[in-house]
Amino acid sequence: MQIRELAVPDSYVFDLVPHGDSRGRFTEWYRADALAEALGFAMPLAQANHSTSARGALRGVHFAQVPPGQAKYVYCPVGSILDVVVDIRVGSPTFGVHDAVVLDSEQPRAMYLAEGLGHAFIALEDQSSVTYLLSSPYAPAREFGIHPLDPALDLPWPADVEFELSAKDSDAPTLEEARQQGLLPTMEQCSARYAELRAG
């Protein structure tokens, strides 16, 4: 397993090593020790989600209030997605910066994004499955979104795909509107949360 930090600080991609023979393939898609070594603390595990999406399904940009926020570890066992992380932490030196990684079943990899970062993905194939681990449980009152087609974000969505968004994501504010409404986490809040996790 190889680990590298993305352009958005506190997010990482994990290049996984599949093992196969005539029977099929085996992949260790999550290793708590490897993740803890990269982060400097163990990721709390509170919930595991699984979604299946048609080509063009666009989900996000989603985030949760900090504290406690919601870190995610994302893996695509079937199909292919473009997974995107956005720095929405007000006061961060990289505020508004994004990075993207293709997660698919051919070259398996996973993405981790810390509390306070925005997350979105688009399915590049029909029946693309996404499995992800969450550091805190779903809590509707604490969870918000930013419109994934906000021109100011300029996210790298493919031009040859027809997007399908939920009503909630279609009605989400732009990044600037979310900032003006006081919805976004601050870098100070997130740094305090990361320090709390490192302290155990």
Please give the positions annotated as active site. 62, 132
Task: In whole angstroms, give the CA distance from residue 116 to residue 45.
Answer: 16
65 HSE (CA, 13 A, CB side) = 7
Residue 156 structure tokens: 């790298």
